[in-house]
Amino acid sequence: MEIHKIDLIPLKIIILYIILGISLSFWGPIIYMDYDKLPVTAYMMSFLVLFSIGYTLGLIQNNDTIKTISYEYQTNNLQKVLYWVKISIIIIALVQFVNLALSITDGTLNLSVSKMGEAYVNMYTDYERGSGNLRLSFLIQTLTYIPYLVTLILGAFYFRELPRIYRLLVVFSYLSIILLETIGHGKQKQLGDIFIFLIIILILKSNIADPKVRKKIFRKMFIFGLLGISALITVLSFRYAAININASNINSKVHELMEYDTDNMIFKIFGDEIGFPLSVFTGYLSQGYYGLSLSMQEPFEWTYFMGNSYSLTVFMQRFLGVPIDFHDTYPYRAGLHTGWDDSKWSTVFAWFAGDFTFIGTLFLFAFIAFLYAKVWREAYRYQNPISIVLFSMLTIALLYIPANNQLLHTPGSIIAVFYFIVLWIFKHKKFNFYKISV
């Protein structure tokens, strides 16, 4: 099968993203002590090669033939999709309304952008990971994560096809998430996810088969990406201001295995005020590779194919008695022996390596790349709603490669991953709607 330029867009973005992160870990504004760079370089280059092979095989083996189906059949299927999108929108809008109302009535809602940092610090005061406290809000968040994804992704994708009331509810859902999570609690993840989802939708809703359109879309992506990074850096600046940390005292406060190089070009170009939060942001892309180098020095200890997920590990141990402990994972053991504890990152590979070994993890991601290519093709060629959601989820997971296994990080995400994969396996061909010729 012929491979077109637009087929390779996600692969090229992921490759550039990984190379950027590795480069920042080597030569960025954060210096990592006794960093063994050679094994990381060899491992990540192997990853890029195998990931590219898996992705290419996914394109080659993608059956591009589609049965001729009637307009009525397509319309009927689309109406089914819109029905479930509307149900999801109602659920999430209701949940967000209740959350907003509760935050207002109990006086915990922060409406000041300048106090985001204080809100974040207060939220994590006395927080203990794995304490086992199951709050009602956590259970609701877990049970409604699938409609949450459908609302944010398909609610925005089918925005123009929705009745006015549902469009208003989608906007309300987006704004309330930003208000409650980003402004209210100083969190970045939800805001970052929203920017990524909207960029993906911008691409899929455009005729990227046209080179002229493609150039315009890439310009918009660049601008939108800069806005997203600026927003995340702003949140970071408020966080560190809340605990009185800045460029002048960061090295007396930072982790003992890290050091900020204030002579780095980022500080010279942007100055201390902007250069400091920007340098902190580069740590999101780079510090995991240092953690990977530390994890690779630990001996293998099998984690029963469940160590990749902290939530799954805790659940299986506490409720089903499986002899597995998150303390056996590579990141935890590396932290125990080096001081690089679980508040830092070690890349997604360190989490999967306890289940599949480091070499086996590379082949696992080759398979993920294989699936990634397939859902990308269906998402942009056929506007397949299942593939659009799955592609968005996998994109988030791949962008979190320098950090952790974000795809299976929470119970809600675990449920959503398995649900959409099973749904895609059995139903995806039914929802290939519109063929785009390239």
Greatest alpha-carbon span in the chain: 68
CA distance 48 to 18: 8
DSSP 201-215: HHHHTS-TTSHHHHH
pLDDT of the chain, 438 residues: tens digit per residue: 678 889 999 999 999 999 999 999 999 999 999 999 999 999 999 999 999 999 999 999 765 555 555 556 677 888 999 999 999 999 999 999 999 999 888 887 888 888 888 888 887 665 555 554 557 788 899 999 999 999 999 999 999 999 999 999 999 999 999 999 999 989 999 999 999 999 999 999 988 888 888 888 888 888 988 999 999 999 999 999 999 999 999 999 999 999 999 999 999 999 999 999 999 999 999 999 999 999 999 999 999 898 898 888 888 877 777 777 888 999 999 999 999 987 899 999 999 999 999 999 999 999 999 999 999 999 998 999 999 999 999 999 999 999 999 888 889 999 999 999 999 999 988 888 765 544
CA distance 388 to 7: 15
Which H/E stretch holds residue 122? helix 116-123
DSSP state of 407: G
With a CB cutoff of 8 Å and minimum separation 6, the contacts of 1 are 59, 60, 61, 62, 64
pTM attached to this predicted model:
0.93
Total residues found in the chain within this entry:
438
Q: What is the dihedral of CA 326, 331, 333, 335, to 10 degrees?
A: -120
